[in-house]
Amino acid sequence: MSLSLKAPKWLDLTLYPFDNKFIQLDAGKMHYIDEGEGEILLFVHGTPSWSFLYRNYITVLSKKYRCIAIDHIGFGLSEKPEDFDGTPSSHANNLTEFIKKLNLTNIVLIVHDFGGPIGLASGIQNNDRIKKVVVFNTWLWETKSNPNAQKADKIINSTIGKWMYLYLNFSPKFLLKKGFHNKKKLSKIIHQQYIRPFPSKTSRLSLLNIGKSLVGSSEWYQKQWNQLSKLEQKPWLLLWGVHDEFITKEYLQKWKNRLPHAQVKEFESGHFLQEEQPEETLLEIEKFLNF
């Protein structure tokens, strides 16, 4: 079902010292890492990141837990088929297929950014397999009425927007950096690990497609939000970077209103808490897992 292959030459194995595994899904070959034994922690990334985002957590937590982190089809070390539509709905279906093929149960689901709607939609479909939920800055409701989302949607669907995504590798080169509150936390070495998975125009289609889905999948997000009752009584931990220019504290307040029993921790960080404050957020995750 899975096989390990050599890492690409650009991958820094001192930062990402894991065995690379692959599984064939209907949409393409998915890369994932599967480290440690015990209770399952399933890490789901957004854009333009990949499983590399969670490396600091996995290095520590795999000593006590089974840590599984996927790369969505079109991202990271996974296959990048040109005919894959790359919508969050399709990514969620891939994740469900992955969960069922590996027969994962009692999962602690850990999500961020677009990985929120992707992971939570799959979690809703497989709610009997989900034990707890950890959420970094993300959303799960309609976006078409959000002015900032409308502005981003207009840009990405423009001719110049598509050109920037496909020819300049705009998302990992520029947008990712903008997501950091403390820019010093994004070294050139680490930044390259986010840029290098997308070396060509065709490899960047996944970035463009998911970007278009910010508003393009608005109704689908709302449908998931309306079904969140299937998960909302489980234990939740919300880890939030309060200086996120994309997914602001207004989003956090909506989560708090929906999940009044959730544990909430706020950080002086931007969108990528996993890079800006890995030690502090890891501590909160460890406490939550022992709760």
Q: Side chain identity at 198, as an amino acid letter?
A: F
Structure tokens at 18: 């894991």
Peptide bond before 147: cis, by omega within 30 degrees of 0? no
pLDDT, tens digit, 9 for 90 and up, residues 84-119: 999 999 999 999 999 999 999 999 999 999 999 999
Mean of the per-residue pLDDT values for the chain?
Answer: 96
d(CA 151, CA 148): 5
Residue 125, pLDDT score: 97
Residue 7, pLDDT score: 80
pLDDT, tens digit, 9 for 90 and up, residues 189-213: 999 999 999 999 999 999 999 999 9
Q: Domains in the chain, start-ordered, CATH in brackets?
A: 18-289 (3.40.50.1820)
Using a pLDDT cut of 70, give the percent of the chain over it. Answer: 98
* Spans in the chain with pLDDT lower than 50: 1
d(CA 16, CA 193): 10
Residue 5, pLDDT score: 60
The angle formed by the CA atoms of residues 193, 51 and 120, to the nearest 5 degrees, is 140
Residue 261, pLDDT score: 97
Question: What is residue 132's three-state secondary structure?
Answer: strand
33-64: b or e for each residue (b if 16 or more CB lie within 10 Å)? bbbbeebbbbbbbbbbbbbbbbbbbbbbbbee
